[in-house]
Amino acid sequence: MSCVSRIIDVKESLWKDNEERAARLRNSLRSRRVLMVDLMGSPGSGKTSLLLETLRRLPASLRAAVVEGDLDSTVDAEAVEKAGWTAVQVRTGGFCHLDAAMVGSALETLGFGSGGMGTGEPPFDLVFVENIGNLVCTAQSDVGASLRVAHLSRPEGDDKPLKYPVMFRTSDILVLTKADYDEVLTAGGPAAPFDAGAVRERCRFLNPALRIFETSCRTGTGLDEWAACLIDETRGYRRSP
Amino acid sequence: MSCVSRIIDVKESLWKDNEERAARLRNSLRSRRVLMVDLMGSPGSGKTSLLLETLRRLPASLRAAVVEGDLDSTVDAEAVEKAGWTAVQVRTGGFCHLDAAMVGSALETLGFGSGGMGTGEPPFDLVFVENIGNLVCTAQSDVGASLRVAHLSRPEGDDKPLKYPVMFRTSDILVLTKADYDEVLTAGGPAAPFDAGAVRERCRFLNPALRIFETSCRTGTGLDEWAACLIDETRGYRRSP
């Protein structure tokens, strides 16, 4: 499998470049007291829906903006802007994850200065990066965020931490979305139920520090708790030395 | 974004190597009248469930085997073997898609000869490759299959052809899985319904030749029709010059 080895060698070098840039970006944002959050998960795991519900719950004193990543289209940025928030769309044209350079450019568009690493009073306190829908590659690329949030929707199944461990190992927070799906399944007929306990156990094995939330944008389950955690994170971040 | 350009340059060269190997593998399998099918889609889109239902519907005269791709674990290969079929698990250890070299090695394990490109009577007539759950990278990597099948589950949403066009542009067949999800949503409360008509229209724009099936492994919807199509494909393939 020499082809694979070559890809891995090349990727390691490029990842190292990206990691250095991501660290610089993170330090720059930290020095300006800006919290950047990387939102990751499979396509359709409910990232955009949860983000819109989260934005609605933020206090007016927190200035938030969104960087939307997609291969193509601007539908997510449009949805965010329609809800009254500032958004920048990054279209990767086929590329499978965002990296620190792409996010730095988006931050520059948002007014954070050159490569997102300007100085002085920042235009926003909180930046959400909605990454490409991808449970694999986004986990392996540092965009410069200080908080990494994985999303897993119940319809995806409870075996995902076994099959895609990197995402669950490297995230700070896991949000289990579409929490209403189980009653839906029970109503609809026999099906393998989603075992949230098994997910928690598998994640505890991979990443004991991972914090886990359960939410449903349809029923409202867990949304206030999740938003309160994020507001706390932002306030703590703004106070941190 | 020089980092991105470098990745793209490097990927182009590696992809070229892979494409050549994939073409050789495809020609070799074709000359032995073996149909290899690449099953792609997001994590949790229902690939394994549909595969198990498909295997059950194959006539005994068709000898089928499965190559399972995952970052880690052997749960899918175990499920296939438990159902009575031959399976080989490829664990990529973090790599985001299968390529022709990995699949060639798996075929070698299945008895197809060196790199999967041996000669003479093949051990199987039909090989399913269940690719890594990834709506982006798998679409860009040729594993040497002659039939490319994309899966999209209703819970993922009908905007996916807009946001991830490559998968829908490069596949031969699209299976819309979890067809029962709409009634489930209606029963569960208000939610944006999945618009299958919009998906068909978006796909027609991207890929007019794409054939589309709608299935549900819970209700049985469309499974016989889908399996019949695949059996026809295999028979046609075995007769082809």
pLDDT tens, B22-34? Answer: 999 999 999 999 9
Beta bridge partners of A173: A149, A211
Least confident of A127-131, A180-184, A210-214: A180-184
Give the model's pLDDT for residue B15: 78
Please give the residue of chain A at the shortest CA–CA distance from B97.
Answer: A136
**A122 confidence band (pLDDT: 50, 70, 90):** very high
Decide if pLDDT at B8 tops 60: no
Report d(CA A137, CA A96) in Å as an integer.
7
The answer to whether A71 contacts B218, with C-beta atoms less than 8 Å apart, is no
A163–B73 C-beta distance less than 8 A: yes
Distance spanning both ends of chain A, measured CA to CA: 48
Residue A160 has pLDDT above 90, yes or no: yes
CA distance to partner chain B, nearest, from residue A141 (Å): 12
Q: What is the mean pLDDT of residues A65-77?
A: 94
Residue B55 and residue B80 in contact, taking contact as beta carbons nearer than 8 Å = yes
pLDDT for the residue B184: 53
DSSP code of A136?
A: S
Tell me how close the Cα of A155 comes to any Cα of chain B, in angstroms: 7
pLDDT score, position B237: 81
Q: Which amino acid is at A202?
A: R
Question: Strands A64-70 and A126-130: what pairing?
Answer: parallel
DSSP classification of residue B209: T
Question: Are the beta carbons of B182 and B193 closer than 8 angstroms?
Answer: yes
Residues of B whose CB is below 8 A from A184: 184-185, 187-188
| Residue in chain B lying closest to A167 (CA) | B94
> Model confidence over B50-70: pLDDT tens digits?
999 999 999 999 999 999 999
Span B179-205, average pLDDT: 76
pLDDT at A213 over 90: yes
- Enumerate the residues of chain A whose CB falls inside 8 A of the CB of residue B166: 71, 94
> Best of B3, B18, B109, B195 to disrupt the A interface by mutation (most A CBs within 10 Å)?
B3
Q: Worst-scoring range by mean pLDDT, A5-14, A69-78, B88-97, B116-125?
A: A5-14
Classified as helix, coil or strand, B197 is helix
Q: Is residue B10 part of a domain?
A: no
The answer, for B178 touching chain A at a CB cutoff of 8 Å, is: yes
Range(s) of the domain holding residue A57 = 2-239
| Any A CB within 8 A of B157 CB | yes
pLDDT at A135 > cutoff 80 = yes
The nearest CA of chain B is from the CA of A61 a distance in Å of: 31
Q: Please list every residue in chain A whose beta carbon sits closer than 8 Å to the beta carbon of residue B163.
A: 43, 70-73, 75-76, 133
CATH code of the domain covering residue B30: 3.40.50.300
pLDDT interval class at A94 (50, 70, 90): confident
Torsion of CA B155, B44, A153, A237, to 10 degrees: -130
Burial of B81: CB neighbours in 10 Å, binned 0-12, 13-18, 19+: middle
Average pLDDT estimate for B164-169 = 96
Q: Amino acid identity of B42?
A: S
Mean pLDDT of chain A: 90
B70 CB near a chain A CB, below 8 Å? yes
Nearest to B218 among A99, A189, A218 (CB): A189
Computed over every residue of chain B, the mean pLDDT equals 90
CA–CA distance, A107 with A123 (Å, rounded to integer): 10
Residue B190 to residue A18, Cβ atoms within 8 A: no
Interchain contact, B155 vs A157, CB within 8 Å: no
C-beta separation of A107 from A128 below 8 A: no
| Of residues B43, B99, B189, nearest to A164 (C-beta) | B43
Q: B141: which 2 tokens?
A: 């990597």
pTM of the entire structure? 0.90
Summarize the confidence of residues A180-208 as an average pLDDT.
77
pLDDT band at A236 (very low <50, low <70, confident <90, very high): confident
What pLDDT does B188 receive? 47
DSSP A129: E
Q: What is the pLDDT of residue A184?
A: 53
- The answer to whether residue A14 scores a pLDDT higher than 90 is no
Which residues lie below 8 Å from residue B12, measured CB to CB, with a gap of 6+? Answer: none
pLDDT the model gives residue A63: 96
- A75·B163 Cβ contact <8 A: yes
Nearest-Cα distance to chain B for A33, in Å, is 25
A181 pLDDT band, cuts 50/70/90, is confident
Q: How many domains does chain A divide into? A: 1
Q: Is the pLDDT of residue A237 over 70?
A: yes
Distances (CA, A) of A99 to A21, A31, A95, B64, B81: 9, 21, 10, 41, 39
Of B17, B163, B188, the CB nearest to A180: B188
Structure confidence at residue B190 as a pLDDT band (50, 70, 90): very low
Cβ-defined contact of A155 to B159 (cutoff 8 Å): no
Q: Chain A partners of B1 at a C-beta cutoff of 8 Å?
A: 101-102, 105
Q: Closest CB to B105: pick one of A1, A21, A183.
A: A1
> Are A101 and B178 within 8 A, CB to CB?
no
Asked, for residue B96, whether it belongs to a domain, the answer is yes
- The shortest CB-CB distance from B189 to any of A135, A157, A218 is to A218
Per-residue confidence (pLDDT) for residue B239, from 0 to 100: 76
Residue B121 φ/ψ region, left for φ over 0, alpha for ψ in the -120 to 50 degree band, beta for the rest: beta
Q: Is the pLDDT of residue B176 over 90?
A: yes
Question: What is the radius of gyration, based on Cα positions, of chain B?
Answer: 18
What long-range pairs does B79-85 form, CB within 8 A, spacing at least 24?
B79/B48, B79/B52, B80/B48, B80/B51, B80/B52, B80/B55, B83/B52, B83/B55, B83/B56, B85/B55
